[in-house]
Amino acid sequence: MLVFAFACDPHRGSEPGAGAAIAKAAALVGDVTVLTRAEPGRDPAVDIPAACGVTRAVAIPSRAWEARLPVHVRYAAWCVRAAAWRRAHRTGSDYQVLHHATYASDWFLNPLMLLRKAPGEQWVAGPGGGATYPSVAIARAAAGGGVATLASELVRRWSTRASRRLMAARLRRRVDHALALNPDSRAELSRLGFPRVSVTSNAVIDYAALPLREDHRPGSAPRVLFMGRGTRWKGLPLLLRAAAHLPPDTVIDIAGPGTDASAYRDAAAALTHLRTPVTFHGSLPRDRALALLAATDALAFGSLHDSAPWAAAEAAALGVPVVCLDLGGVAMMAGEAARVVSTADADSLPRRFAEALVAAAAEDPSDRPRPTREFTLGALAETLGAAYMGAPVASPGIVRLRREG
C-alpha cells in the first residue's frame, strides 16, 4: 500500500494524529509506504516507521518560503509533488493499493486527482468529511458574528459544493472505495456517483492513557466544559449565549487554542448572573485537558460542521455526556453519550442548549452513558483491510441518541 498522508505525526493530535493512526492500522494489513511532508527538526523516514510500524516513510520536500503560506496552500503544493513522486516511482504493479488518507476533505484537492490509475490498482480515499451545511439562521445562532458569519457560511457553502463536484467528476469512476467520516458526507458522495461509500472514523483512542472519571459530589455546583479551537463555528459563542439560561452556580471551563480571545472574555464578563466566573484555560497540555474532561459533568460541543471529533469519543470513553447539535459527526462519535439538540428552531437554540446541559449535568450516576471502547487500532485495521481488498465495510452501528426532552 502507498498511503498519502500530508499530516502524519504520532506525537501530535488532530490531523497528524489521524494520519499516524491510519498508518499504524494499515501496517497491520500489509506493507506500507507513507508519503508525507518534510518538517524542520524531524526525520519522518526514521520517526514514522519506528512509531507506526510501516515499511518506510518518504518525506516530500518543500521550499523554505512556503512555510509562510496558509496550510491549505502548502497542502495543495504537496499534492502536486506527491503525485509527481508517484509517477517517477511507478514500476508496474508495485503498489496494489493507493490510499489518500489525511486532509481528505470530500471537497478538496488530493493526489489521486493528478494520477492515472494503473490496471489492478485499488484506490481508497478518506475518511473525509465536509458536507454538513447548517442553515444560515442556525449558523448565526451558534456562531454569532452577524454579517461576518453569514458571509463566511455562504462562501463556504458555494465554494465547497463547487469544488466537490469537480473532485467527484475526476474520481468517482476511479476510486474503488470512498470512506466518509459521517452520514452527511456519505450521502453527498453517493449522490455524486461514487459507487461504494462507507462511514467510518479515523479515530484510535488510547483508552489506557485516559484518566479516571471524577464522580460528581452531591450538592456541588454543576461543571460544564468547552474544549476545542476558538473558531466561531466550533460552538463557543453558543455556549456563552446559553450560559444566560444556566443556573447561577454553574462552573464553566473553556479550554483550547484561541478560546481565551478578548471577544470571548468580554462575552463571559457580561454574564453577571453567574456566581462562579467563567474560567479561560487557553491552550493546555494534553494531560491537563484530559483531566478537565474527566472532572466535568457535561461537554458542550455545539459545533456546526465537525466531521468526526475525537474529543467526543474521548468524552464517551470517560462516560461524560456530550451535548451537541444534530449536525456533522459529533453525535456519531459520542454514541450513547450524545445528548442531541435539534436545530429546527434557531431563536430558541441557546435556551434549549442550556436545558440540555443542565439535564446532562444532573443525570443520576446509574443513568450516565456507559464508557465506550470502540475506537481501537484493531477496529480501524479491520475497516481498512476490507476497503483495500474490495470488501464491504461495516459502518458504525446505529446507536440510541438521547435527544432533548
Return the percent helix, strand and coil in the chain, to nearest 5: 40, 15, 45
- Rg of the chain, C-alpha, whole Å: 21
Identify whether the C-beta of residue 106 lies closer than 8 Å to the C-beta of residue 164: yes
The three grid cell numbers given for residue 284, joined into one nine-digit string: 493546555
Give the closest residue to 360 by CA, choosing from 345, 332, 340: 340
Q: What is the dihedral of CA 189, 191, 194, 200, to 10 degrees?
A: 40
The whole-angstrom separation of Cα 180 and Cα 376 is 18
Q: Which residues contact 118 (CB under 8 A, 6 or more apart)?
A: 90, 92, 93
**What is the length of the chain?**
405
The three grid cell numbers given for residue 320, joined into one nine-digit string: 461524560
Maximum distance among all Cα pairs of the chain, rounded to whole angstroms = 70
Identify whether the C-beta of residue 300 lies closer than 8 Å to the C-beta of residue 278: no
The whole-angstrom separation of Cα 267 and Cα 271 is 7
The three grid cell numbers given for residue 274, joined into one nine-digit string: 453567574
CA distances (Å), origin 54, targets 18, 70, 280:
15, 29, 40
Q: Specify the 3-state DSSP secondary structure of 323.
A: strand
CA distances (Å), origin 296, targets 165, 203, 321:
42, 22, 9
Q: Which of the 8 DSSP states describes residue 102? A: S
Give the closest residue to 106 by CA, choosing from 193, 167, 50: 167
> Strand 279-282 vs strand 197-199: parallel, antiparallel, or unpaired?
unpaired
How confident is the model at residue 404, as a pLDDT? 45
How confident is the model at residue 92, as a pLDDT? 59
Q: Which residues contact 370 (CB under 8 A, 6 or more apart)?
A: 319, 336
How confident is the model at residue 122, as a pLDDT? 95
Q: Which residue is listed with cell 471551563?
A: 253
The three grid cell numbers given for residue 51, joined into one nine-digit string: 512509531
How confident is the model at residue 403, as a pLDDT? 41
CA atoms within 13 A on the CB side of 191: 11
φ and ψ at residue 60, rounded to 5 degrees? -85, 120
- Segments of 326-373 assigned E as strands: 338-341
The three grid cell numbers given for residue 17, joined into one nine-digit string: 494524529
Q: Which residue is listed with cell 470502540?
A: 374
The three grid cell numbers given for residue 337, joined into one nine-digit string: 453519550
Identify whether the C-beta of residue 105 lies closer than 8 Å to the C-beta of residue 193: no
With a cut of 70, which residues of the chain have pLDDT below it?
92-93, 216-219, 369, 391-405
Give the closest residue to 69 by CA, choosing from 47, 37, 114, 44: 37
Percent of the chain with pLDDT over 90: 72
Q: Which amino acid is at 315?
A: A
How confident is the model at residue 315, as a pLDDT? 94
